[in-house]
Amino acid sequence: MSALPDPQRTLGAPILGLSLAALAACVLAGCGVDYASSDPAFPGDYQARHPIVLAAAPTTLEVYPVGGALDARSLADLRAFAERYRRLGSGRIMIFTPGGVGSHAKSVHEIRKALASAGLSGVVGVASYGRSQGGRTNPTPTTVAQPKP
């Protein structure tokens, strides 16, 4: 007599085959996605791809003269500023003093003397800026600036 096929075995093979086919369809479903965008994956212009900009910017140095005199650190900072200006700078050097605080002639003279001793010659401009802190007693800096060309 012939043996009857096992019902679990007969149903298991088609179910296994269908589940494997469904799994393969799910895995491969993401491969053929067609996006509606016509934009390139990256910009064609190298300047848009690599936006690196080198630009000249003003250089400033704040010094805090006490009684019109400069301490050793301020003098060293002014010498370093002058050296950098001689190597890389262009344009006019300006000294900005706080306005309305009193006479800063002595500190301006000291700054000019320090710049000249560091080898800078030429016209150094002087201007004042408004003091926005009102009557606060915080030290207000005198700024030495080299504007961008």
Whether pTM > 0.75 for this model: the answer is no
At 11-67, the pLDDT tens digits run 667 788 888 888 888 777 767 666 666 666 666 777 777 777 777 778 888 888 887
Domains of the chain: 60-129+140-146 (3.30.1330.60)
Among 16, 18, 34, which residue's Cα sits nearest to residue 26? 18
Number of H helices, E strands in the chain: 4, 4
- Check: CB of residue 120 under 8 Å from CB of residue 90: no
User: Per DSSP, which regions of 64-134 are E strands?
Assistant: 93-98, 124-129
Provide the pLDDT for residue 78.
92
At 64-104, the pLDDT tens digits run 888 778 889 999 999 999 998 888 888 888 888 887 555 67
Share above pLDDT 90 across residues of the chain, in percent, rounded to a whole number: 7
Among 131, 93, 133, which residue's Cα sits nearest to residue 112? 93
Provide the pLDDT for residue 137.
43
Query: Would you put residue 45 in left (φ > 0), alpha (ψ -120 to 50) or beta?
Result: beta
Provide the pLDDT for residue 138.
47
